[in-house]
Amino acid sequence: MSSKRRRGAMDDHEEEEEEDDEDEEETVSFDGAVEAWNMDGSSDAQAESGSWLRDAEEATGRRRGRCSFDGCPNQAEVGGHVWIRGEGCFIAPICRPCNRHDNPERMQGAGACLRANIVVTKTAMTEGMRNAERRIAVGGGGGGGRR
């Protein structure tokens, strides 16, 4: 699966400004759907404002809409930690069912993808994420969120 990556906030600044504002969050958008899954062990991560979704909305300049997972019709309710294959850890606006750690459709290996043109915010991995036991979907699949 190939998809062009478009970077946001950090690309809009001069080099000198990047050095002055290292707290500026990197936003990324992909032209096509990208394989992604929920991060295990993210409960130790703390949002700057107290809300990952609010932080993502401020970083991207966009309001929440539909869940970022392809095929899910639900409204985004939270900013969920997702791993995008080949890219790393990001915050994506997703619904509560898609954010559940025990949702097999959103585990690594399930074939889940984020929709094209979703804007996500790069975030650091925490110690909890690095050391968490990985939940791997058996049999793959993908599909929509639970309703």
At 40 the three-state DSSP class reads: coil
Whether 124 is in a domain gets the answer yes
Model confidence pLDDT, tens digit, residues 85-133: 999 999 999 999 999 989 999 999 999 999 999 999 999 998 999 988 8
pTM metric for this prediction: 0.74
What residues does 65 pair with on adjacent strands? Answer: none
34 part of a folded domain? yes
The CA distances from residue 82 to 64, 92, 125, in Å, are: 16, 7, 10
Answer whether residue 47 is part of any domain. Answer: yes
CA–CA separation, 117 and 6 (whole Å): 9
Is residue 92 helix, strand or coil? strand
Domain containing 71: what range?
A: 5-12+24-128
106 occurs within a structural domain: yes
**140 in a domain, yes or no?**
no
In the DSSP assignment, the letter for residue 62 is -
Q: Is residue 116 part of a domain?
A: yes
Q: Does a structural domain hold residue 45?
A: yes
What residues have CB less than 8 Å from 27, skipping those under 6 apart? Answer: 7, 8, 9, 59, 60, 119, 120, 121, 122
User: pLDDT digit string (tens) for 44-99?
Assistant: 888 788 878 787 788 777 777 899 999 999 999 999 999 999 999 999 999 999 99
How many domains in the chain? Answer: 1
